[in-house]
Amino acid sequence: MFRKVDDLGVVLVLVLMVGVVSAFHPQFVERASLSNMAMQTAFYGIIAVGMVFLLSRGSSTSPSRATSLSLPRSRRCWPRSG
């Protein structure tokens, strides 16, 4: 499951941090709290998975370049001022 010792270390630190916080604040590990945190971070997780997919494909267009390429097209729809 873990290929490197570093990966295991990160997981152990995360578990340790959750344990320490939950010792001082027991409501941290309640079902409603964990569900709320999962819902708040789901968007960022989906974006991160998409970015990893793009980077692993070796695409010639980076995500930031793709965003900047789409901006001029959307500006054509805006009314001209002056």
| Secondary structure of the chain as H, E, C letters | CCCCHHHHHHHHHHHHHHHHHHHHCHHHHCHHHHHHHHHHHHHHHHHHHHHHHHHHHCCCCCHHHHHHHHHHHHHCCCCCCC
The domain ranges of the chain are 5-75
Give the per-residue pLDDT at 21.
93
Count Cβ atoms below 10 Å from residue 22 Cβ, excluding itself. Answer: 14
pLDDT digits (tens, 9 = 90+) for 1-30: 556 666 788 889 989 999 999 999 999 889
What pTM was estimated for this model as a whole? 0.49
CA dist 31 and 36 (Å) reads 9
Greatest mean pLDDT range, 3-7, 55-59, 60-64, 73-77: 55-59
